[in-house]
Structure 1
């Protein structure tokens, strides 16, 4: 018997039939496990600004405070900088408030305001956005428009309704 007698009659080498199924059977479960594991990591957070409000101002009053609630369903973020979109010419900055000796003290929050996972309220007597340089009084029923910049979540546009003077905020 010679090697030539082992060759098929077509004159070439015998074809070895490849079987792709064992390879797929081995790699498919590993691939599916990797895809599922990728979805199990920490989810990216969503930051939402809700229940924003400010009070109407008196004629000649060029400052106002804006309050709101921030809902964060992810890792800690930081509110860095507010910007007034309307009315034109007004400026915004972050402030914190605290009582000292029966006197309310406000300080600029130069490093921003921490926004941990959960709910953060900017409310009278605490943290707020200070609006300065208003070109005219804010009237109940009107609106301010702000942009709030967060370290992780980026920028959020916020419409701020103007409530009557003395208001304690939007009705729950």
Structure 2
């Protein structure tokens, strides 16, 4: 017999578990725990140095670059990205084949093993951004959402650099 239950097992006014406020508190606590758990998986993917080259007017394609770190304990597979300013964003790889540079899509995605770091850079792995609604202008930022096979997403801000890939230099 507990101090909060009568011998017949019925709830009494002193039973804190029978109060709806206790139940609401427990539900709120569980929601917080679940939300924290869902958010922590995305936090395991770290994004550094996200950028894209400025594009001239009339060009509706560009490329995004960044360094991805998997700081978690589970393998993650990047499958693509979305941007409200582009029709599609795919993972591509440029490589030399028979003395010529070729670019191909990676429809299976890009796998990041636990502890891995992968660099998306010119002349290698990159995000191919297609159907842009306007040119990428040096000095602006563009937001996109990386998508992973398990349904996770991660926001990234692309710094738009000069066409030669150099960061915007300010003299003060």
- Provide the TM-score with structure 2 as the length reference: 0.66
Taking a change above 3 Å as real, the CA distance of residues 170 and 73 of structure 1, as seen in their structure-2 partners, is farther
Please show how residues 99-118 of structure 1 align to structure 2 within 5 Å.
99-116=96-113, 117-118=115-116
Give, in angstroms, the shift of residue 118 of structure 1.
Answer: 2.4
In structure 1, distance between residues paired with 2:168 and 2:49: 7
Where does the alignment leave 5 or more consecutive residues of structure 1 unmatched?
1-43
Give, in angstroms, the shift of residue 127 of structure 1.
Answer: 1.1
Please show how residues 58-137 of structure 1 align to structure 2 within 5 Å.
58-74=56-72, 75-85=74-84, 87=85, 89-116=86-113, 117-137=115-135
In structure 2, distance between residues paired with 1:56 and 1:166: 9
Taking a change above 3 Å as real, the CA distance of residues 170 and 82 of structure 1, as seen in their structure-2 partners, is farther
Contact 2:80–2:91 at 8 Å: present in 1 too? yes
Runs in 1 of length 4+ with deviation above 3 angstroms? 168-171
1:39-65: per-residue Cα shift (whole Å, max 9, x none)? xxxxx7811112100000011111100
Please show how residues 1-172 of structure 1 align to structure 2 within 5 Å.
46-74=44-72, 75-85=74-84, 87=85, 89-116=86-113, 117-152=115-150, 154-167=152-165
Q: Let me know the Cα RMSD of the aligned residues.
A: 2.3
1:84-111: per-residue Cα shift (whole Å, max 9, x none)? 13x2x43211111111123111111100
The count of aligned residue pairs is 127
- The SS at the match of 1:136 is coil
In structure 2, distance between residues paired with 1:153 and 1:168: 34
Where does the alignment leave 5 or more consecutive residues of structure 2 unmatched?
1-40
The structure with the largest alpha-carbon Rg is: 1
